[in-house]
Every structure is written in C-alpha cells, then in structure tokens.
Structure 1
Amino acid sequence: MSLNALLLYLVTMSVGGAGAYTETSDAMAARLVSERGVYITFSQGNDGGQGLQTSGNPAISSGAMAIASIDNSHTPQSYLSTPDGEKIFYSAGANSGGWHSTVNSIIVVNDPQATANDGCNGPTKSVAGAVVLYAYNIGDLCNSAVRCDKAAAAGATGCLLYNVGAISGSSAIPSGSISLTNGQHIIAITTENLSAMFTFTNKVALAPVVISSLLLIYLKSTAGTPSQFSSLGLTGDLLFKPQISGIGGYVYSTISSFAATTQKLSTAYASYSGTSMACPYVAGYV
C-alpha cells in the first residue's frame, strides 16, 4: 500500500541520539519517506552547550526538517507576595517543592551583608516559625540542601536562597530560589520593618523568561532567542541544520500525575524545555 493511500502527510518525532552523518538507517528512511511527499519534522537535540556540529540523529537526515528551540517570552512560575502585594517569583526546591498552601510569615535575613558561606553552619539568628533568607555566593562551600535542612532543624518553616538558579533545598520544609534583585528587595523591606508579613502561595502567575549573567550580576530576557541547550549544525555532511525553530524553552504543559507527585506539584502542569517541546509545536503549524 502506498503512503498516499494511507493519507500520510506528516511524520514527527521528538527522539534522537548522537550522529553526525546521514548514512544511518533511520536518517535514510526519513529521506525516502520525504521523497514520497511526506513532511518530516525531527527535534534537533539538546546538546548546544557542547558547541558546533551537535545535531542529533535522525534530525540530520537530508529529508527532515530539524527543529531547534527558542525561548518563550513568559512562563507560569510560583510566587510570594510582599506586604504591599508585589509579586516575587521563585523557583521551587527539588527536594520538597515550594509552598503547597497559602502561608503568611515573616522573613528572617540570616546575613544582610551576604558574606560567603551564608548559612553553611546553620542560622545565626532565631528562625523558629519563620522563613529564612540566605545569600548564595560563587565559591560557597555548602549547597542549598545543607543550609535549608539546618534551617529546618532550627525550626524554620521555609527556606529561600537568592542570587542563585535552581536549587535542591530542604527535604523537610518548603524551599525556593530567587534573583539577586529580589533578594535585595526583601532585605530592604525587612530592614525597615522586621515584622513585615509576606504571603507564600501555591499559585502561579506569568513571569518573564530571563537568565542570569555568567557572574550572576544581572538578568536579561531571552524571549525569542535560541535556547542555550538547542543543538547547533552543521552536520558531518555539511548540511545546514537546523532549518526552523519553534518555542521550546519554558513551555507550560501537562505532565503525568506520577511526575507531578514526584516533583511535589499541586497540579499536573509544569514548565519544561527542550527541542522535544519545539518539534510538535512546529509540526502542528505545518
């Protein structure tokens, strides 16, 4: 039976592996199918951090459209609120997640001077019944789990680190990470009023997609730009890959209930990134 008889118009796959040359069986199969008039879209791969010529197989096929990823402009993210209602977005810790209900709490800044290894030896102030805020510095000798678990042992109900990306956090209390700017904002609020009440929620709101600079000095928007992970061409056969991009960085989508439970999420939705997110986006458009 011919492909046309099967009414096959498009084949899309978000799978692949290493391979610089197009003589592999799956790459050749993609070429033969495309020659019958069928559109082929394959995810380009997520090895862009390794440099040039990192295109994945079978996206390297001459008959396939290799799909790269660009970053979304906004993505839903958990947040806490300042006393005046301003949202501060945070990334939930991997070990115990973020806050699973609405909680009002003061924030104790462990070291307003943000010296090195803040919290590595445990809180230097009373944190019982409060959320503690630690500073992260490049070269610190302990990780987030050490600091936040020691905070939990001291009676803290939550743990925040600022000036850092994703963290593991505590396995016992809600944890999260925030930007340098937001950390300094919280310090300014608590310096003026030690009893300032913050609201932690399990809700999400749309946050701009930004990344930290190399030295964590500032944040910059990456909306509409190639995702850092997206694999680059050329192929070993000097084919130009990828040919087209789709939104694959910070895509909010459904996940399995098992994945939600494992990640300690309150709903089966999450923000994921990868050319495997971009590929079906482009396939749907085609």
Structure 2
Amino acid sequence: MKTTNSGSATAKFAFILVTSLFFLWGFSNSLNPILIPHLQKSFTLTTTQSTLVDSAVYIAYFLLALPAGYVMKRFGYKTGIITGLMLFSIGAYLFIPAANTQSYAFFLFALFVIASGLSFLETAANPYAAALGPHETSTQRLNLAQSFNGLAVAIAPLIGGRVILTKGYSEDQLSVMTAEGRRIALASEASSVKTPYFILGTFLLLIAIVFAITKLPKIQHKETVRKKSQNILHAFKHKHLTWAVIAQFFYVGAQVCVMSLF
C-alpha cells in the first residue's frame, strides 16, 4: 500500500474526516443496548425476540463485509465511504416509518440497513486512516482514530438514554391502563426514536456530502501476482489470520452479549 504525505493539508483534513467515521459507528453501535430493552417493552417481546436487534446488525456485517471490500478495490475508498454513509443515513430515516407502522420487523430491517452502511465504513476507514501518512506512524494514526470510537461508546448511552427513553411508562402505570390505553402508551414509547434518528440521518447525509465534495488523497495498492486457483479461502492458509478470525468471533460475541443483556 502506498501511503500519503501526512504533512499536506489535504491528508490532515482527510484524516479528520475519516476519524469522524470511527466516532459515528461507535455511537450507533452503542445505541443498540438502549434500543433492545426499549423495543422489548414497546412490543412486549421476550428476551430472545429482543436480541434479534443484535442479530440483524451482525448478520449485515457478515453479509456486506466482502462486497464492501470489492467496492473499495473497484471504485476506491471514497466511493466506499460515501456508500456506507448513505446506507447509514437511509437506515436511520427508516426508523420513522418503522415507528409509524409499529412494526418490529421494520425496525430490524432499518437496523440491518444501518449495519450494512457501518460495514462499508469500517472496511474503508481502518486501512485508509493507516495509509494517510508515513508507514512508520500508521499504527499511531490508527490508534488515535480508534480512540474516538471509544469516546463515542462512552457518551452514546448518556445521550441515547435522554433522547430515546423520554416517554417511558412504569409497569405500575401500564398495569392500571385499559388495553387500548396500554397500546397507545407503548406506541408512544416506540415513536420516541423518530426525532433522534431523523436528526442522525440528516447529519449523516451532510457528512456524505462533505466527503463527496472533498478531494481525498488516493491510495494506491501494489498489485500482487495471484494464481487463478486462489480464492478467498486461500487466505486461511495463514494460521495467524485463521486464529485472528476465531478470536475476533468469540471476542465480539462476548462483547455484544455483555453490552446487550447485562
């Protein structure tokens, strides 16, 4: 991979833009543990049914990661990032019709679209951030960018709790309501996501426009000779990669379970 000159104003601004992506996907993923109990109560779901939120998100990651890589290889990082931001924005806007129709399946579809966008962003942002400067300092740049992901994870529950859980009814209040009154109350709770996700979708659209009009440094990859018989499975002949994938699988599984259920 050919890196760019980190001293140029273009590279510095590009790095700032890319770093914002780390914050955005960290913020979005940290809203899911708030959404799970919120939707569970609004739609009177079992614990198993409520965890479909995480299933919708990570199935999208699994299905879209390789296509995202292909888009990046074929059209460049900029196209991949803009595609990810647009999918992210569309998914956020889909929360509005999901709340209007009171459909849990619609919410899951909206989350799937959001996660599809995040898959594009994460596939692009990590290698792109590393390449925006000298190879010797690529690790430092990546660690700096990822620190903003941690910042988002820390503050998202505070903000999300305030803007999403604003119309909560206690079980005591719901228990004295009529069936129709309870239905209306729970529908009101489910609708509390419309405004924050509309704002999020609009903000993402603006970020996508900024990326579209900004001239970003192009990263050139050295082409390697590959045998025709090689495919994606050939990569798993490298033991370190295989064990890294296994470790990542269990790490993410444990992280999601703890964040969503405890």
TM-score class normalised by the smaller sequence = under 0.3
- Choose 1 or 2 for highest CA Rg: 1
Between Structure 1 and Structure 2, the one with more strand by share is 1
TM (normalized to structure 2)? 0.22
Determine which structure has the larger helix proportion and give its number: 2
Normalised TM-score (structure 1): 0.21
Larger RCO of the pair (alpha carbons < 8 Å, separation 6+): 2
